[in-house]
Amino acid sequence: MDILLKNIGIITGDMDNPHIEEGFVGIKDGIIDFVSSVNDSMPELKARKIIDGKNRLVMPGLINTHTHCGMTIMRNFANDLPLHTWLFDNIFPVEARLKGEDIYWGTMLGIAEMIKTGTTMFSDMYLDMDEVAKAVESSGIRANLSISPIKLNSGDNKIIDETDKVCEFYKNWNNNADRRITVSLEVHSTYLFSREWLEKSAYIAKKLGIGIQIHIQETKRELAESIEKYGITPLDLCLQTGILDAPVIAAHCVYLNDNDMDILKAKNVSVAHNPTSNLKLGSGIAPIPGLIERGINVSIGTDGAASNNNLNMFEEMHIAALLHKGYYNDPGVVSAREAITMATSNGAEANGLNGITGAVKKGMKADLIIIDMNKPHLCPVNDPVSALVYSVQGSDVETTIINGRIVMENRVLSTIDEELVMGRVREIAKRVIK
Ligand SMILES: [Zn+2]
């Protein structure tokens, strides 16, 4: 055994056996070798590393299904603005000043923050994905990295065909870094991609056999412009152009009519719910209870740190569980258990890793987090699932294990020099934020 967690509370994420009050988790060669209760008869276990789980809970690592990790550079820049002004007049001009290496450091900072708040996998959409992949490789995190077939934001509104870069990126990185990297295609949105490029993108995704990450129906304006230009919603346009024939993570989905919901269900699209970003940009509130009721796979994302303004999935899970209760005057919607499922196994499914990560279960990847419950705000625990959603803070994550490797122990990162990364990002921000 490489790592043994003993006498620990276990939230398995496995619906057959969701909670083990006190048990053991064994990890070998990056895989969960066994999960058992203290009441089971156990052989004497030896392990290279033993972690005592007294007053600790272990759960599947959280999966952030929509972010732009490198945007940490723009954290707390351009606030209290609507999406269109925020993006076109503030974010894009700063992004035009970013160099490749800046993206690496911004991504490293985001990964450091995510590991420290219990995220073991993220789905990313950003510039210079080679730099992002390098950061994922060296940090030990798992990621689904989407790369755009066109270059946007080139200053003069010219669109540059970068299909060759997509193919090269796929060749270099798909299933690379100990199989921690999945490559997908970025189709930013139907407002930045023409009909022709939506069709081309669908073809590229099909040819390479990869998924697509896209922003869909985030604002009223986006919806109205699509109706005006094409006579149909962005989702319908995606359906017509073949985008939805690939496995798709659709971020936001705030404004959906019944037909849109039918499309999501029929095409098996995964929705990434980003409640903080939607609230902060004044975009609106996505109809999540309705999506869950229809059996649509809903996961959770933070969006970038420039519209959140953090990448803390515990906070996101908390808001997702509260928001809809108030909005629909119904405390029964988005239960604590549903919120955890959205942030773990539904995230795995969105990334095509269903049954591979997202649960504490024998045979699955050892992507786990240990939470220190020995704190005043977590005492007494009473109901651990509710505690995880309503009381636990991201900073209560004590240890993070990804692919069987301890990447943070007792709040100390083992793969990232935090001080160095923060220093570099402070310098970059000084240069590019104007
Ligand atoms: Zn986004």
User: Is 358 within a domain?
Assistant: no
What's residue 40's pLDDT? 82
User: Is 423 within a domain?
Assistant: no
272 and 309, same structural domain?
yes
163 and 240, same structural domain?
yes
Is residue 172 scored above 70 in pLDDT? yes
- Give 159's pLDDT tier (boundaries 50, 70, 90): confident
In this prediction the pTM is 0.97
Is residue 293 scored above 70 in pLDDT? yes
User: Is 421 within a domain?
Assistant: no
Q: What is the mean pLDDT of residues 132-158?
A: 89
Tokens of 92: 């894009």
**Crossing angle of helices 234-241 and 220-230, rounded to 10°:** 50
408 and 326, same structural domain?
no
Tokens of 188: 């930013």
What's residue 382's pLDDT? 95
How far, in Å, is the centroid of ligand 1 from the Cα of 387? 29
Is residue 72 scored above 60 in pLDDT? yes
What does the pLDDT look like over 25-69, one tens digit per residue? Answer: 999 999 999 999 988 877 677 899 999 999 999 999 999 999 999
User: Is 43 within a domain?
Assistant: yes
Is residue 24 scored above 90 in pLDDT? yes
Is residue 156 scored above 70 in pLDDT? no
What's residue 43's pLDDT? 66
216 and 90, same structural domain?
yes
User: Is 424 within a domain?
Assistant: no
User: Is 430 within a domain?
Assistant: no
315 and 168, same structural domain?
yes
**Crossing angle of helices 336-343 and 313-327, rounded to 10°:** 140
Helix (H) or strand (E) holding 67: strand 62-67
How far, in Å, is the centroid of ligand 1 from the Cα of 57? 31
Nearest to residue 182, comparing CAs of 112, 138, 122, 131? 122
User: 10 Å Cβ neighbour count for 385?
Assistant: 17
Q: Which residue carries 């490559």 as its tokens? A: 183
As a whole number of angstroms, the distance between CA 112 and CA 421 comes to 9
How far, in Å, is the centroid of ligand 1 from the Cα of 215? 6
48 and 25, same structural domain?
yes
Q: What is the mean pLDDT of residues 195-220?
A: 98
Nearest to residue 369, comparing CAs of 116, 183, 71, 33? 116
How far, in Å, is the centroid of ligand 1 from the Cα of 87? 10
What's residue 153's pLDDT? 60
Tokens of 136: 């994922």
What's residue 409's pLDDT? 98
What's residue 155's pLDDT? 59
CA pseudo-torsion sign 150, 152, 157, 158: negative
Please say whether the beta carbons of 344 and 389 come within 8 A: no
Mean pLDDT of the chain: 96
What's residue 280's pLDDT? 96
Q: What is the mean pLDDT of residues 208-237?
A: 98
How far, in Å, is the centroid of ligand 1 from the Cα of 126? 9
User: Is 12 within a domain?
Assistant: yes
Which SS3 state, helix, strand or coil, does residue 412 take? strand
147 and 134, same structural domain?
yes
The CATH number of the domain where 92 resides is what?
Answer: 3.20.20.140
Tokens of 377: 């705000």
How far, in Å, is the centroid of ligand 1 from the Cα of 66? 6
Domain count, the chain: 2
Is residue 251 scored above 90 in pLDDT? yes
Please say whether the beta carbons of 269 and 305 come within 8 A: no
Q: What is the mean pLDDT of residues 262-277?
A: 98
334 and 372, same structural domain?
no
The CATH number of the domain where 396 resides is what?
Answer: 2.30.40.10
319 and 215, same structural domain?
yes
Domain membership of residue 28 as a residue range: 3-61+364-413
How far, in Å, is the centroid of ligand 1 from the Cα of 277? 8
Nearest to residue 266, comparing CAs of 235, 287, 226? 235
90 and 57, same structural domain?
no
Radius of gyration of the chain from Cα atoms?
Answer: 21
The pocket of ion ligand 1, defined by CB under 5 A, consists of 303
- Give 15's pLDDT tier (boundaries 50, 70, 90): confident
Which phi and psi angles does 5 have, rounded to 5°? -100, 125
As a whole number of angstroms, the distance between CA 142 and CA 136 comes to 7
301 and 228, same structural domain?
yes
What does the pLDDT look like over 297-313, one tens digit per residue? Answer: 999 999 999 999 999 99
As a whole number of angstroms, the distance between CA 243 and CA 197 comes to 10
What's residue 14's pLDDT? 75
243 and 279, same structural domain?
yes
